[in-house]
């Protein structure tokens, strides 16, 4: 007993109030951490400001006519990005239809007990690996595998169904169809991952209740699981769309970089991001200003789409987990 | 008593519900059909990945794993009709720029995550920073290039620094969000125990929160590195390209992804073959970091 008290009072004890040095280092450390968090806010603001600033001469010069103009000619210093805006939205929409269908299908496949959970893990890894493959590699694959592969089919469609606006031109090589296909492959992992999350958030009891009433598996999925997970799936689609809007390299390699507005799947087109990628490195000062304007518009479009997607996602999380 | 008599209808007159499973009922057929469609969707979705991997191995692998392995890995990119050559400067360039990006983004990212997860998780600054980090995740990667072009390249020209800094902008968001999630999962009781022993907040963070959240943080860091290695859009007009090994960080620098982009459009078979080889090397680098991320992130218990 006596020994115990001795130990507490002896000099070997480490207990005691923090020293001045510890107080100071604590203050400094917390200050640095707060500064780093502020840096993220500062960085985002700086990106927005910098791009707007660089674009301001072009904004002053071309005004809103820049958005409705259809010609990009650096020799005449005429710049308009309507074809690029159209190409960006059209390619992303096509990719969303395709990638969204597959993404949601895979999310159902992975979460609704179709396969053993070990097999599901392997499958999930495959989808995640798809997300890990760099954009340029998909571009290369698109040029040398996908385009030759879809060319005969595209020619047949154009020959026999050429009156239909989607098939009104011939696929000469790069074009909307290969670009949208690769884009669909690239957004599939995003859509699938967020949809899987949405299905996981549906309480298990809900599914049990449906099965308990004698539904078939698909009645349970279509009438109970999908409606319950709908807001999460919507978030997946919106965020996937946002991803598609900004995708650059694969599109720059596959879409043909031609300023056309066409409904045809086989005509070459252009997107805002691939315009930046293909024109920026050789641009002169006037053209750089115009490109900055185009970048600003891309930034605004993706910003709106992403904030909308995040808002829906946040709403879903609150719906199932209660307000935190 | 007559009421009960009314309820007790003789068995024969009552319709019997069919509770058995009927395999060829319309709804059962529909269910079976949709199951088939889902299997098909899942299998079709796996095709591109296997196609890409197969072609990388066949078209890139034959060149890489041949007698001139050393030349491929260390040689300079060939010009025009020149045969042979390699992708040495590009491999070095990718690693150098990812290194610069990592050195900048990892400390800032982890420190910011500490603020978001431990110091002031509910403050206005934290909520804004968290939201903006998510918004940054949705930004097109080319915007990092545009931004760095305006800030650095216009004044100092194309350089390895500019490329690395553009990559750090992209890595930062991944590191912050992953590190925050990892540290937010550290049980409050562990932190309370440390506070109860009289630790300052810094001591709690350095001795309890960081070590406990380390696997998750490392996963985020490795995924950020994997992602940055494969990026090309932000390097196009920050790092540009170079045919030689770098001697200074203030010079334009080669990278695997830009080499693939440049060579893919060339009419020379030798260059296209090298583009496939470079793709294989790039995918291997990305996959190594991805697999490492999975290994360190696995829960220990």
HSE value, Cβ hemisphere, 13 Å, CA-based, for B38: 22
CB contact under 8 A, A33 and B203: no
CB contact under 8 A, A133 and B141: no
Tokens at residue A320, please?
A: 């199932």
| Contact predicate B166/B234, CB 8 Å | yes
**What's the pLDDT score for residue B10?**
60
**What's the pLDDT score for residue A290?**
92
| Contact predicate A170/A158, CB 8 Å | yes
| Contact predicate B68/B85, CB 8 Å | no
Closest CA to B134 of A230, A302, A34: A302
**What's the pLDDT score for residue A1?**
47
Q: What angle do CA A164, A166, A170 make, to 5 degrees?
A: 95
B49 CA to chain A: closest CA distance, Å? 6
For B133, the closest chain A residue by CA position comes to A40
**Which residues on chain B are in Cβ contact (under 8 Å) with A136?**
230, 232, 257, 260-261, 264, 279, 282
Q: Does position A3 have pLDDT exceeding 70, yes or no?
A: no
Q: What is the CA radius of gyration of chain B?
A: 29
Query: Number of Cβ pairs closer than 8 Å across A and B?
Result: 256
A320 CA to chain B: closest CA distance, Å? 19
Q: 3-state SS of chain A: helix, strand, coil percent to 5?
A: 75, 0, 20
Would you give the DSSP letter of residue B209?
I
Residue with tokens 């299997």: B39
**What's the pLDDT score for residue B8?**
59
Cβ-nearest to B146 among A51, A114, A249:
A51
**What's the pLDDT score for residue A170?**
81
Q: Does position A225 have pLDDT exceeding 80, yes or no?
A: yes
Give chain A's mean pLDDT: 89
pLDDT digits (tens, 9 = 90+) for B230-270: 999 999 989 989 888 988 889 999 999 999 999 998 888 88
**Which residues on chain A are in Cβ contact (under 8 Å) with B237?**
280-281
Collapsing DSSP states into helix, strand and coil, what is residue A78? strand
For A282, the closest chain B residue by CA position comes to B237
Query: Does B132 contact chain A (CB < 8 Å)?
Result: yes
Interface of B with A in 244-273 (CB under 8 A): 257, 260-261, 264-265, 272
Residue A211: count of CB within 10 angstroms of its CB: 13
Would you give the DSSP letter of residue B21?
-
Collapsing DSSP states into helix, strand and coil, what is residue A73? strand
More confident residue, B166 or A116: B166
Tokens at residue A19, please?
A: 């020293």
| Contact predicate B56/B280, CB 8 Å | yes
Q: What number is the average pLDDT over the span A37-56?
A: 94
**What's the pLDDT score for residue B190?**
92
Tokens at residue B205, please?
A: 């963070």
| Contact predicate B173/B137, CB 8 Å | yes
Q: How confident is the model at residue A324 (pLDDT cuts 50, 70, 90)?
A: very low
Can you tell me the distance from the alpha carbon of B216 to that of B222, in angstroms, rounded to the nearest whole number? 10
Q: Does position A276 have pLDDT exceeding 50, yes or no?
A: yes
| Contact predicate B100/A9, CB 8 Å | no
Query: What is the distance between the terminal CA atoms of chain B, rounded to a whole angstrom?
Result: 67
Backbone φ, ψ for residue A6 (5° rounding): -60, -45
CA distances from A45 to A49, A293, B201, B263 (A): 6, 17, 30, 36
- B267: which residues sit within 8 A by CB, 6+ positions away? none
Under-50 pLDDT residues of chain B: 1-2, 5, 301
CB contact under 8 A, A36 and B279: no
pLDDT digits (tens, 9 = 90+) for A177-213: 999 999 999 999 999 999 998 999 898 899 899 989 8
Interface of B with A in 73-92 (CB under 8 A): none
> Model ipTM?
0.89
CB contact under 8 A, B257 and A303: no
Tokens at residue A260, please?
A: 């056309």
**Which residues on chain A are in Cβ contact (under 8 Å) with B125?**
34, 37-38, 41
């Amino acid at each position: 007993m006596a020994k115990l008290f001795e130990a507490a009072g002896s000099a070997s004890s480490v207990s005691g109030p923090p020293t001045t040095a510890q107080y100071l280092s604590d203050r400094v450390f917390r200050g640095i951490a707060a500064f780093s968090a502020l840096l993220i806010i500062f960085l985002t603001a700086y990106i927005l400001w910098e791009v707007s600033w660089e674009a301001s001469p072009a904004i002053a010069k071309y005004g809103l006519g820049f958005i409705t103009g259809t010609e990009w000619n650096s020799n005449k210093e005429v710049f308009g990005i309507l074809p690029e805006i159209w190409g960006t939205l059209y390619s992303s929409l096509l990719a969303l239809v395709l990638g969204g269908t597959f993404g949601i299908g895979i999310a159902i496949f992975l979460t609704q007990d179709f396969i053993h959970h070990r097999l599901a893990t392997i499958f999930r890894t495959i989808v995640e690996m798809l997300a890990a493959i760099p954009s340029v590699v998909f571009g290369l694959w698109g040029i040398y595998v996908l385009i030759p592969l879809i060319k005969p089919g595209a020619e047949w469609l154009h020959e026999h169904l050429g009156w239909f606006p989607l098939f009104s031109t011939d696929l000469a090589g790069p074009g909307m169809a290969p670009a949208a296909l690769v884009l669909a492959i690239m957004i599939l992992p995003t859509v699938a991952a967020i949809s899987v999350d949405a299905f996981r958030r549906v309480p298990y009891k809900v599914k049990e209740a449906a099965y308990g009433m004698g539904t078939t598996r698909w009645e349970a999925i279509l009438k109970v699981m999908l409606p319950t997970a709908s807001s999460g799936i919507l978030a997946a689609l919106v965020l996937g769309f946002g991803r598609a809007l900004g995708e650059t390299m694969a599109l720059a390699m596959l879409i043909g970089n031609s300023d056309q507005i066409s409904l045809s799947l086989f005509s070459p087109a252009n997107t805002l991001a691939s315009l930046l990628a293909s024109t920026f490195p050789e641009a002169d000062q006037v053209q750089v200003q115009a490109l900055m304007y185009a970048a600003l518009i891309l930034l605004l479009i993706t910003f709106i789409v992403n904030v909308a997607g995040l808002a829906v996602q946040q709403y879903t999380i609150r719906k199932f987990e209660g307000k935190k | 008593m007559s009421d009960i008599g009314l309820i007790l209808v003789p068995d024969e007159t009552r319709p019997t519900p069919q509770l058995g499973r009927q395999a060829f009922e319309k709804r059962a057929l529909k269910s079976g059909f949709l199951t088939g469609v889902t299997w098909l969707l899942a299998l079709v979705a796996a095709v591109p990945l296997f196609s890409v991997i197969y072609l990388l191995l066949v078209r890139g692998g034959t060149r890489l794993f041949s007698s001139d392995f050393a030349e491929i890995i260390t040689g300079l990119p060939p010009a025009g009709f020149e045969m042979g050559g390699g992708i040495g400067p590009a491999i070095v360039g990718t690693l150098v720029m990812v290194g610069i990006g990592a050195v900048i983004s990892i400390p800032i990212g982890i420190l910011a995550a500490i603020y978001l997860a431990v110091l002031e998780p509910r403050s206005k600054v934290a909520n804004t920073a968290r939201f903006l980090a998510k918004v940054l995740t949705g930004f097109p990667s080319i915007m990092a290039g545009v931004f760095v072009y305006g800030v650095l390249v216009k004044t100092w020209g194309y350089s390895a620094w500019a490329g690395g800094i553009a990559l750090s902008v992209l890595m930062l968001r991944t590191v912050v969000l992953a590190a925050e999630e990892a540290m937010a999962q550290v049980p409050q009781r562990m932190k309370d125990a440390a506070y109860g022993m009289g630790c300052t907040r810094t001591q709690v963070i350095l001795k309890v929160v960081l070590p406990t959240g380390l696997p998750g943080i490392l996963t985020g860091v490795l995924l950020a590195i994997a992602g940055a290695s494969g990026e090309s859009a932000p390097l196009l007009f920050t790092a540009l390209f170079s045919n030689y090994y770098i001697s200074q960080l203030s010079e334009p620098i080669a990278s695997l992804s830009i080499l693939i982009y440049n060579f893919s459009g060339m009419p020379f078979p030798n260059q296209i073959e090298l583009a496939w080889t470079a793709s294989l090397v790039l995918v291997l680098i990305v996959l190594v970091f991805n697999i490492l991320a999975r290994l360190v992130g696995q829960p220990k218990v």
